[in-house]
Structure 1
Amino acid sequence: MTIVQQARQCALLIVLALVANTAQAIEIVFDYRFDRHGWFSTESEAGLMRRDVLQQAASVFSGLTDRLSAIQPGAGDSWSVSLQHPSWNSWIESATVTDLYVPENSLVVFVGASSFRGSVLGAAGAGSIYAEGSQAFIDTVAGRGQAGALVTSADELATDYGPWGGSIWFNSQFSWYAGLDESGLTAGQPDLFTTATHEIAHLLGFGTSAAWNALLMSTETGWVFTGENAMALYGGPVPMDALGAHWAYGVQGSINGEQVDNLMDPGTQFGHREYFSDLDYAALADIGWQVSAVPEPSTFWMLLLGLVGVFARWHRKQSRSIAKK
């Protein structure tokens, strides 16, 4: 990392820390009601270990702060969300949740697993939302009190994101590593912590939110991300994958001054754990989240937040059969 890049990174962290002082820490609450196959069952050691890994992945986002209004149905205010079932028996299977209470400064994430023949490790999405009642309630469901998340005209671009949560599916056909210590990873195993962190980030708006799409630009060579913080670290528009939902392969960020592959690229090599880089954090700051600090991975670093407004895409973390470069 050059002196100029180091200065940019320090300036970014100082600004983020100052902005975050008035906000509250975000809590991710996992809901297991749709775990029909018992992948996260408390009656098995494997299920308990997987729950522990999810909590570790959630702790990555403990430095993410904002002010999210509670979604509290009642007195004529009602809402529902149709989700991709997190333990689906087919890709088209959905689950509907009605009048879910979402506490202030929290996200609710439904999780589950089922077997699928293919390289997809996991997928996440926030579903299709319907709300009725007072305008204030409808706006809260759509934006959680984040004014920049509410787009009221075709000419207006979202500048923030206020999610309710979402669902995450894991592919149970794989022999997952569900340990907290990465030293136990073997060459043939996908890492549950890495995939869980990746999918939570999509629920926080990385590659999925209107605020993200507002910062995408199409060029002759493909999509690039033009968020101010991300460009300051990278040195210009950041290359994206073909869908504009992940960093392109080969784009690197840094952790503690060391160049690393970004966790938010499309794939992960088996037997390898990835952590959020400065570039991953910066992009989430660009879509409206506040980061109080970027701690070292060994001390449970932090992230940011987001949601999809009405029709959310599912974004999938793939396995990679070749080593990353």
Structure 2
Amino acid sequence: MFIKPSLLAGAMLLAASQSANAVVINFDYTYDGGFFTGVNSGRQTLLNAAGSFLGSILTDSLAPISSGGSNNFSAIFDRPDTGAQTILNNFSVAPDTLTVFVGGRDLGGNTLGFGGYGGYSVSGTQAFLNTAEKRGQSGDTVGSSATDFAPWGGQISFSNSANWYFDTNPSTTEPFSGNDFYSVALHELGHLLGLGSADSWKDKTSGSNFTGANAVAAYGGNVPLESDKVHWLDGTQSNVNGVPQEALLDPTIRVGTRKVYTQLDLAALKDVGWQVSVTAVPLPSTVWLFGPALLGLIASSRKRYSGI
């Protein structure tokens, strides 16, 4: 039996329709704590928009994990509504799919989101063990030689006490107050995809820098990291279609601000091992209303996406 410990790291993006070879990010609300269900069910549309965008730009082929007979895959994750570790036996995941358990709870302080990829235990044939670990990827996904990443999914908790802004149309951006849920969702999904958390990320950190070749090319040198080694140094800049933006993977976000994946963040996804179909985020020009020209009008307080 191979057991991989559950790992949480703090982690978000925008929406587009799924393409034929896209990865499907399937959100599960079983442990949602009412944050996305009942009177709050409309929030699912915005979360799906964030997942659809990321899924549409990832072109990896992920093998299914199909428990049955002597093959047993158990998903291990922290419930998003309570934080308690949960084990689901005989768990299966469809091909080209990531299952993400989502919900809300009190995260304390200024933390807006907390999430990462799930752990697992697996028993069965060697072929089944290999599928559980690599999901059909050619490169190593664990250990010091990891160049790829292929989780079954994971979990994300959102603060149930934050002053959220739930955008009804994330394809356009207008002035708003509060903490942008769409941005936080994109950030946390990035951590679930291995940014700051996968072995293929850790193997490319040196001291206080990230040295992945794609990120270095996008940034113009080694990328400085926070002391937690899972976020860019606070204030790190990149660009989106030539427009400057604070990088999505930095640890904080200003109230009244939207952030999407920058060139640097997309490059880091490639360094972790994902096949990314774009180098820039295709957005309508109106989105730039939240850019540098508006920064003087928004609140100066900053909120953390996630904690470790």
Q: Same fold (TM over 0.5)?
A: yes
Per-residue Cα deviation, 1:24-71 (whole angstroms, up to 9, x for no partner): 311100011111x31111x32xx2331011011112211111011000
Instruction: Say if 2:167 is the partner of 1:176.
Output: no
Which letter maps to 2:176? L
Deviation at 1:150, TM superposition (A): 4.1
- Check conservation: 1:65, 1:292, Cα contact below 8 A: yes
Match of 1:24 among 11, 21, 25: 21
Per-residue Cα deviation, 1:186-215 (whole angstroms, up to 9, x for no partner): 1xx111101111001101010000000111
Instruction: Say if 2:287 is the partner of 1:296.
Output: no
2:34 alignment partner in structure 1: 38
Does the residue aligned with 2:93 lie in a helix, a strand or coil? coil
| Cα 1:60–1:174 shift into 2, 3 Å | same
The runs of at least 4 aligned residues of structure 1 exceeding 3 Å deviation read: none
Q: Distance in 2 between matches of 1:202 and 1:322?
A: 20
Match of 2:127 among 133, 136, 143: 136
1:192 alignment partner in structure 2: 181
1:313 alignment partner in structure 2: none
2:257 alignment partner in structure 1: 272
1:246 alignment partner in structure 2: 231
How many aligned residue pairs are there?
A: 268
Deviation at 1:250, TM superposition (A): 2.5
Instruction: Say if 2:44 is the partner of 1:51.
Output: yes
Match of 1:210 among 195, 199, 222: 199
- Check conservation: 2:117, 2:194, Cα contact below 8 A: no
What percentage of aligned pairs have identical amino acids? 37
Does the residue aligned with 1:137 lie in a helix, a strand or coil? helix
Q: Distance in 1 between matches of 2:233 and 2:198?
A: 18
Does the residue aligned with 1:271 lie in a helix, a strand or coil? coil
Which letter maps to 1:95? T
Deviation at 1:123, TM superposition (A): 0.6
1:105 alignment partner in structure 2: 96
Which letter maps to 1:31? D
Instruction: Say if 2:210 is the partner of 1:225.
Output: yes
Instruction: Say if 2:86 is the partner of 1:95.
Output: yes
Does the residue aligned with 1:232 lie in a helix, a strand or coil? helix
- Check conservation: 2:141, 2:199, Cα contact below 8 A: no
2:80 alignment partner in structure 1: 86
Which letter maps to 1:51? Q
Q: Distance in 1 between matches of 2:221 and 2:35?
A: 43
Deviation at 1:322, TM superposition (A): 4.6
Match of 1:164 among 152, 167, 174: 152
Structure 2 runs not aligned, ≥5 long: 1-18, 288-298, 304-308
Deviation at 1:296, TM superposition (A): 2.0
2:15 alignment partner in structure 1: none
Which letter maps to 2:182? F
Which letter maps to 2:161? Q
Does the residue aligned with 1:55 lie in a helix, a strand or coil? helix
- Check conservation: 1:84, 1:125, Cα contact below 8 A: no
Match of 1:68 among 57, 62, 69: 62
Match of 2:269 among 264, 284, 294: 284
Q: Distance in 2 between matches of 1:176 and 1:233?
A: 32
